[in-house]
Structure 1
Amino acid sequence: MRSVKEGARILRSAHGNVPLSLLLDTNLSDPDFFDRAMMNIEPDSPHLNNDGFMSVSFQSNRPIALKKFQQFLDYQLPENVFRAKGILWFDDSPLRHVFQLSGKRFTIDDSEWVTPQKNQMVLIGRKLDKLFLLQRLNDCLVR
């Protein structure tokens, strides 16, 4: 990379996980921007909001019904959701599930729980309907 662009920043990532602001923000001349982004501290980015880019966070202390979540992904997830990631707790599994979505592709990796079971997920996209997304995700929870 540096042979093509002197001074290029090279990021190490797992599964291409890079802070959204490093991909979309144009304020790279700010000397502290890179450090804040890598620490997941978002700088003020009014143009991101003006362009309609946003995130929706979802949390729950109740497990998710796997079949309902699969239906959400297959039939209800809006096209304007570009990225999603999170830790999921499915009712029929004792494992912790790390969820990654990019476009229409997703992966779910399993591991043991080391913290109390809960769901934490963020969806990133453009002009998202927060209420719709939260309602659909709440519909996936076990009653």
Structure 2
Amino acid sequence: MKLQSKVRPQEKIPILILTGFLGSGKTTLLNYLLKNYQDQKIAVLMNELGDLDIDSQLLVQVDQNLIQLSNGCICCSINGSLVSSIQELIEREETINLLVIEASGVADPLPIILTILGTNLRDRCQLETILTLIDAENFLNALEESEVAQKQIVYGDLLMINKTDLVEEEQVLMIESKIRQLKREPRILKCQNSVIPLSLLFNPHLAGDRFESLMEELQINHHEHHSHSELNDGFQAVTYERTAPFRIRDFQLWIDQQMPRQVYRAKGWLWLKESYQRYLFQLSGTRITMEDDTWPGEQKTQLVFIGRNLDPNIIHHQLDQILIREPLNL
């Protein structure tokens, strides 16, 4: 995995691309998101509003191209080009904490990805995660019949095998085998009824300078439960904070060779010896980005790793081994 750097303007809106073949459970997942993100303003963009069966308790107002929900979230159809639809959303007066783009079940997600990364939208938006939902019952058939189903696997950061309760374990193992034939080192998870760990998709505390509030919460959690980890649907959030930098090569080698495979998401601020800038580091699946920014105050590295069966002591020890502790001569 190569670390890519780009300039990070302020107040970027995180984007989740939701893809998956027909019947994989995307609509169920969207409803799950809309009902479970408390105090977060989510905007959903989809091809057809009629495809989304919104919980009637959330409905406030329905217009031709927009559904307004009681929790402040909105759902819009893609009206014209994707670029103009996204621009129209982010220019609204309301603050948007997360933008979800639902790809059509028979759509190649690559054009959506390129639209975000290859246009001026990248100045206002941050691609957080590309989530691919997989129908455990029908995926093998879809894979044989559709090249799109293969591309949805190839471009996905996190691959969620859904409806695992409807098939035998042997079927799930066959799906995992097919996935590994298509994608190197895939991050695969299993779920039922589209219920997935929300911390893997988006955590508002990890956005920009609000990272510090998460660190404080996890410190409180550590004192109360005598643990370095925050449990969330079986997942842990392991924090790492040090007032010393890394060399970029040493940190990349750790990511490539030592970071536990059970890490599905990571985010935070990096202090690197080679630069006066601070870097917003983000890992989603196996995709990594780094965006440089200016230091607002004290220089320090602050990271959060989210995954299953993580040993905080091992992660802390390994990262401490590559810290530069001698005086710096920048």
**Fold agreement, TM-score > 0.5:** yes
Match of 2:240 in 1: 58
Superposition TM-score, scaled by structure 2 size: 0.33
Q: 1:90 to 1:52 in 2, by over 3 A?
A: same
| Structure 1 position 24, deviation (Å) | 1.9
Match of 1:129 in 2: 311
Q: Which amino acid aligns with 1:24?
A: P
Larger RCO (alpha carbons 8 Å, 6+ apart): 1
Q: For each residue in 1:86-111, what CA deviation from the matched residue of structure 2 results, as whole angstroms up to 9, or x when unmatched?
A: 00100111111000001111100011
2:128 corresponds to 1:16: yes
Q: Which structure has the bigger radius of gyration?
A: 2
Please identify which structure carries the higher helix content: 2
Coordinate RMSD, CA, aligned: 2.9
1:101 to 273, 283, 287: 283
Q: Which amino acid aligns with 1:63?
A: P
| Structure 1 position 38, deviation (Å) | 5.4
In structure 1, how many angstroms separate the alpha carbons of the residues matched to 2:286 and 2:272?
A: 21
2:272 corresponds to 1:90: yes
2:296 corresponds to 1:118: no
Superposition TM-score, scaled by structure 1 size: 0.72
Do 2:128 and 2:284's aligned partners in 1 also have CA atoms closer than 8 Å? Answer: no
Structure 1 unaligned segments of length 5 or more: list them. 26-36, 43-47
Q: 1:96 to 1:50 in 2, by over 3 A?
A: closer
Count of residues paired in the alignment = 123
| Structure 1 position 16, deviation (Å) | 2.8
Q: 1:123 to 1:115 in 2, by over 3 A?
A: same
In structure 2, how many angstroms separate the alpha carbons of the residues matched to 1:50 and 1:99?
A: 22
Find the residue that maps to 1:117 and give its secondary structure.
Answer: coil
Q: Which amino acid aligns with 2:197?
A: L
Q: 1:49 to 1:121 in 2, by over 3 A?
A: closer
In structure 1, how many angstroms separate the alpha carbons of the residues matched to 2:302 and 2:53?
A: 38
Q: 1:126 to 1:119 in 2, by over 3 A?
A: same
Match of 1:5 in 2: 53
For residues 58-77 of structure 1, the aligned pairs below 5 Å read 58-77=240-259
In structure 2, how many angstroms separate the alpha carbons of the residues matched to 1:95 and 1:103?
A: 25
Do 2:197 and 2:232's aligned partners in 1 also have CA atoms closer than 8 Å? Answer: no
Percent sequence identity is 35
Q: Which amino acid aligns with 1:78?
A: P
In structure 1, how many angstroms separate the alpha carbons of the residues matched to 2:305 and 2:238?
A: 5
In structure 1, how many angstroms separate the alpha carbons of the residues matched to 2:234 and 2:312?
A: 12
Do 2:197 and 2:233's aligned partners in 1 also have CA atoms closer than 8 Å? Answer: no
